[in-house]
Amino acid sequence: MNTYDHEQATPGRATGAPGATPAHRLGDSTLAVRAGLPEPVKNEPTLPGPVFAAHFHLPGDVEGPYTYGRDTNPTWTLLERAVGELEAPGQEVDTVVFASGMAAISAVLLSQAHTGDTVVLPDDGYQALPLLRDQLEAYGIHVRTAPTAGEAQLAALDGARLLWIETPSNPGLDVCDVRCLVDAAHAGGTLVAVDNTLATPLGQRPLELGADFSVASGTKGLTGHGDLLLGYVVCRDRQLAARVRQWRKIVGAIPGPMEAWLAHRSLSTLRLRVERQWANALSVAEALAGRPDVSGLRYPGLPADPAHTTATRQMRGYGSVVSFTLPDRAHAERFMTALHLVEDATSFGGVRSTAERRGRWGGDAVPEGFIRFSAGAEDAEDLVADVLRALDRAGHHH
Ligand code: PLP
């Protein structure tokens, strides 16, 4: 048997994990280390290496799963099965991987919405969403926006084709009740997509909360090493998935086999990584909570956080990102310079802590002193000590 043979009619469509029936669902650590692995074959590796192929042998009629490298690739197939198993254990879902998170987001919005349709976006989501909004409007698609907090998007749903949710939102870390929004959207015939980048599938499972699409950047916590870009879309409905897959084919926004393989390899440590990173984020947030120089502290895992109740109901972990505000831009810049164990870089979810003064990009409605902090997998004592020392230095600059 060929290592890549499996019974799926469509590459990327898969039924949960082996043995992961709801009756005895596997734990997250087990799911993560086994996600997407093919059936063992004597003398073959556990996770077959990347398949570098622009085309596949194809004598005669066009048949079989692998024909041309823009349409399908065996390395994607295994990764797609893995992501599907993590996003929706035990459910039959379709997963489509993309070259980046934005490729995945654009694929859903541009393949599902047509001229004259209405789409509802968050007004406090990832900073490239406004660029996408311009593109949607250029195609004659109406766009309404509303904040994430307080399910404010409910008021904008009427007659919409698609509701786009980002929870927790980046970088403000507001949370909305997905099930409540899904119920209202579905009652009016509106599809729902959730950006699950920040939580990762181990932190939140949008399809289990009723969403039609779970979409994410795999560049962040999913793969966690800051060495690749990736995106994915998971959905239950075959027809919706077929349009997303068709979009990938016509736009060609495909991941390279090397990136897909590295991503799959990284998934085996997902549970270990998020466990440490979420714990470190909470430690940092708790340390920041006692500081007079810190305002606007947000972390859904803090009991006093406005998002805590909703997050606790629908999330399985609160994520690795903490946000807070220092008195002004110069103070924030001094803080960033004084950090030793935290890299000044954008992105989040990596095993090495990163932070940035978010206002430097100009795309988010945040104060000049706003810091987006992503906790890595360092020892908590080292990380907290570095942050507190940098805060002290930033405050004593005279
Ligand atoms: N969604 C969220 C919430 C993000 O933070 C990002 C990137 O920062 C993206 C999507 C886009 O992902 P990518 O950079 O992989 O295109």
Tell me, in angstroms, the distance from the centre of ligand 1 to residue 61's CA: 40
Q: Which atom of ligand 1 is nearest to the CA of 231?
A: 15
Tell me, in angstroms, the distance from the centre of ligand 1 to residue 273's CA: 19
Alpha-carbon Rg for the chain in angstroms: 21
5 domain-assigned: no
| Residue 71 near residue 310 (C-beta atoms within 8 A) | no
Q: Which atom of ligand 1 is nearest to the CA of 103?
A: 16
Q: Is the pLDDT score of 18 beyond 80?
A: no
Tokens at 358, concatenated: 């978010």
Do 302 and 260 lie in one domain? The reply is no
Cis amide bond preceding 38, omega within 30: no
The domain that contains 114 carries what CATH number?
A: 3.40.640.10
Q: Which atom of ligand 1 is nearest to the CA of 218?
A: 15
Q: Which domain holds residue 385?
A: 271-395
**pLDDT, mean of residues 140-169:** 98
Tell me, in angstroms, the distance from the centre of ligand 1 to residue 347's CA: 8
Tell me, in angstroms, the distance from the centre of ligand 1 to residue 242's CA: 23
By three-state DSSP, how is residue 232 classified?
strand
Residue 363: CB atoms within 10 Å: 14
Q: Is the pLDDT score of 20 beyond 50?
A: no
Do 195 and 294 lie in one domain? The reply is no
Tell me, in angstroms, the distance from the centre of ligand 1 to residue 131's CA: 13
pLDDT in tens, 72-91: 999 999 999 999 999 999 99
Q: Which atom of ligand 1 is nearest to the CA of 230?
A: 15
Tokens at 278, concatenated: 């979420």
Report the chain's terminal Cα–Cα distance, integer Å.
71
Query: How many structural domains does the chain have?
Result: 2
| Residue 313 near residue 177 (C-beta atoms within 8 A) | yes
Element containing residue 121 per DSSP (H, E): strand 118-122
Length of the chain: 398
39 domain-assigned: yes
Q: Whose CA is nearest to atom 14 of ligand 1?
A: 101
By three-state DSSP, how is residue 231 classified?
strand
What is the Cα–Cα distance from 303 to 292, expressed in whole angstroms?
Answer: 19
User: What are φ and ψ of residue 260, in 5° steps?
Assistant: -65, -40
Q: Is the pLDDT score of 133 beyond 80?
A: yes
Q: Whose CA is nearest to atom 8 of ligand 1?
A: 347
The domain that contains 278 carries what CATH number?
A: 3.90.1150.10
Close Cβ partners of 222 (under 8 Å, ≥ 6 residues apart): 83, 197, 200, 201, 216, 230, 263, 266, 267, 270, 349
In this prediction, residue 134 has a pLDDT band, given cuts at 50, 70 and 90, of: very high
Exposed, middle or buried by CB within 10 Å (0-12, 13-18, 19+), for 334?
Answer: middle
171 domain-assigned: yes
**pLDDT, mean of residues 154-182:** 98
| pLDDT attached to residue 363 | 81
Domain boundary among 233, 267, 301: 267
Mean pLDDT of the chain: 95
**Ligand 1 site: residues with CB under 6 angstroms?**
100-102, 105, 126, 166, 170, 195, 197-198, 217, 219, 229, 231
Tokens at 155, concatenated: 């008021």
Q: Whose CA is nearest to atom 11 of ligand 1?
A: 101
Do 105 and 226 lie in one domain? The reply is yes
Task: Tell which one of 165, 170, 213 to mutate to probe ligand 1, the residue whose CB is within 8 A of the most ligand atoms.
Answer: 170
Q: Whose CA is nearest to atom 4 of ligand 1?
A: 126
